[in-house]
Amino acid sequence: MFGKMTRIALCFALVFSLFAGAQQVAAAEYEVKIAYENNPGEPTDVGVQEWARILKEISGGKVEAVLYPSSQLGAKKDVLEMILMGSNVITIADAGFLMDYVPDIGIMYAPYLTDTYDEYFTLVDSPWFKKQMDAVAGHGFEIVTAKWIYGDRHLLANKAVKTPKDLAGLKIRTPNMKILSKTIEYMGGIPTPMPLGEVYPAIAQGVIDGAENPYPVLWGAKLYEKAKFLTPTGHVKNVSMWLGSHKYFASLPPEIAGFIKDAAEKACLFVNENVKKDDVKAIENFRNAGVEIVEPDMEAFRKAVFPIYEELWGKELYEEVKKNMTK
């Protein structure tokens, strides 16, 4: 009896050993952390999940993406500092954030620069953008991908906004970036930078009067519970970039770095195909929640913000960028 029990125990031990060994073999050789402010279930989160899936698949399990939604690794500023220190972190950002390092690239985030995403992608594929990428790398960042459609940015406020005059005196939350603060200022409002996670209580407490972001983000943050007027200004065609550490990517074997970037590009296609569908769903949700959709005077907003180009970049750069968009 004892001998039989011993043999059974040895069998269990062998099976466990083989299982543990298989798990060890299957473990990823490289781990990359992907951090973002968006909440679970939002289009960005769904897209990042697809990115992680594709990465595991094309790398044969060698690379694993660990996701950190809802600012779990800290505010964007904190995460960018981690990246500059060489950490294995990638985060979503925009040309507006990079403007602090490479001023010219910020024009890609300027209001009403283009009416189509196709023109934007043409710019990303241009020699002009290649120069911007090199300049960004010189400041410690690696652009992993620059074709991730975040969506058109719109206004949600606690009063109806139809023209720039209606924004007078209203405090509108923006990310902590110069270009969006300037945009809201030219549109007639008072820019109030703060992390996305702080916006809901800020509106509830009357600290701010509204926010601007794509429809799904405004919906996902539940801001409609405190601000009931949505104005589809579409003031920025927000194409996001995912940034990593140039030092970190340089330390990776080229094959591994290639897996991460290839998976990101494939995830872009997945995200971009669903943008319109996500917008339609979010607008329907807003209507069902009792939010009033206000028709804006688009010409008035376009005219109000155009001087921003002269102030921040000058006519020559504006014309060069527009030329690179149409090749």
pLDDT tens-digit readout, 146-159: 999 999 999 999 99
Average pLDDT for the chain: 91
The pLDDT of 70-90, averaged and rounded, is 94
Contact between residue 167 and residue 95 where contact means Cβ atoms under 8 Å apart: no
Q: What is the sign of the dihedral through the CA atoms of 259, 264, 265 and 270?
A: positive
The structure tokens 């975040």 sit at: 150
**Res 196: pLDDT:** 87
Question: 239: exposed, middle or buried (C-beta count within 10 Å: 0-12, 13-18, 19+)?
Answer: buried
Who's near 102: CB < 8 A, 6+ residues apart? 132, 135, 136, 139
Residue type, 162: K
Confidence tier at 26 by pLDDT (50, 70, 90): low
pLDDT tens readout for residues 309-327: 999 999 999 999 999 998 6
Contact between residue 117 and residue 104 where contact means Cβ atoms under 8 Å apart: no
Give the Cα separation of 305 and 300 in Å (integer): 9
What pTM was computed for the model?
A: 0.84
Cα separation values, 78 from 6, 87, 110, 138, Å = 55, 12, 24, 20
pLDDT tens readout for residues 250-303: 999 999 999 999 999 999 999 999 888 999 999 999 999 999 999 999 999 999
**Res 276: pLDDT:** 87
| Domains along the sequence of the chain with CATH | 30-325 (3.40.190.170)
The pLDDT of 115-123, averaged and rounded, is 95
pLDDT tens readout for residues 181-217: 999 999 999 999 998 889 999 999 999 999 999 999 9
pLDDT tens readout for residues 289-315: 999 999 999 999 999 999 999 999 999
CB neighbourhood size of 127 (10 A): 8
